[in-house]
Amino acid sequence: MIVGLLRTLLIFALIYYSIKFFTWVYMVYRGLNKSSFNTRMNEKQQKKKEGEVNIDYAPKNKKIISKDNGDYVDFEDLDK
């Protein structure tokens, strides 16, 4: 009975630590990929010539509301 309990605890410990290890490996791998991506982006930004100006225009968000979009409700201010 004790042997079965110890074997079960050992299996759970092996599963727990293997999941923990593979999660750590995944996080390290992901971190290395992000850091290499960041270095590539920094290299691209450093390739600009000195004094070069880059202007990016953001499109203006215009809300287009058609006349069929709802009804106009007239209201009155009530003094209390």
Coil, strand or helix: which one is 76? coil
pLDDT one-digit tens code per residue, 1-42:
889 999 999 999 999 999 999 998 888 888 777 766 666 666
The answer to whether the CB of 48 falls within 8 A of the CB of 54 is: yes
pLDDT (0 to 100) of residue 66: 64
One-letter amino acid at 32 equals L
How many angstroms separate the Cα of 8 from the Cα of each of 3, 41, 44, 56? 9, 49, 54, 61
pTM of the model: 0.41
